[in-house]
Amino acid sequence: MEGNLIEQFVEKKALDAMNTLVSTQSDDEAVRAAVTVSEAFGEAEPFKSIADMSTGLGKKLTLSFERNLELLIQKTWVEKSDEDLKAQVQFQLEEFCKNLETHSYQKAYTPFFSIVDNVVYLMFGSQTKSKEFAEYALRIDPEFGIFWWYMQNLPRNAAWSEPKSRIAIMLGMYFLANY
């Protein structure tokens, strides 16, 4: 996505925080950066509580995320050829949530992208595969476009610590649980 287009929707501090989130080796710095990025999704206060592992709100977020995605998957009308994909995503979601229950965030990190990519494909169809999708998403629904920018800026395969993997996943889940 053109850098200047996202800058029309996301403040510089969130852009800088995204870079920090991806590049930092410090778990604490990653959490602070994720909280700053969450401001681009709207109200950051609820996410601050989720980011604090001691609150136990991660479990509540996981339940909301799972319910919302199940509903979205079930209610999305798809072509007959995509029915198998719906079943596959449902299975992926169940396995992903099992990993979260056991706090296996590193194990859940890469599958999270597959789930998000497949759900977005079910919602928007083949246009999600085009180079222009990020700009399209940002223009038709800025909130979703900012989320998509976030997902596209995370490395698909990262050897991050459990806390850093957790915060990256939780931020994506936070948006989807409230979308």
**Are 60 and 46 spatial neighbours (Cβ–Cβ below 8 Å)?**
no
Residue 157 structure tokens:
């395969």
For the cut 80, the answer to whether the pLDDT of residue 177 exceeds it is: yes
16 or 102, greater pLDDT: 16
Residue 7 phi, psi (nearest 5): -65, -20
3-state secondary structure of 33: helix
**Are 161 and 24 spatial neighbours (Cβ–Cβ below 8 Å)?**
no
Output the pLDDT for position 2: 53
Could you read off the pLDDT of 48-82 as tens digits, one per residue?
A: 888 877 667 778 888 889 988 888 887 777 777 77
Residue (of 67, 120, 117, 122) closest to 97 by Cα position:
67
Q: What pTM did the predictor assign?
A: 0.88
Could you read off the pLDDT of 100-153 as tens digits, one per residue?
A: 888 889 999 999 999 999 999 988 888 999 989 999 999 999 999 999 999 999
Residue range 79-86: average pLDDT? 81
Output the pLDDT for position 3: 60
4 or 154, greater pLDDT: 154
4, 12, 18, 88, 98 from 15: Cα distances, Å: 11, 5, 5, 34, 32
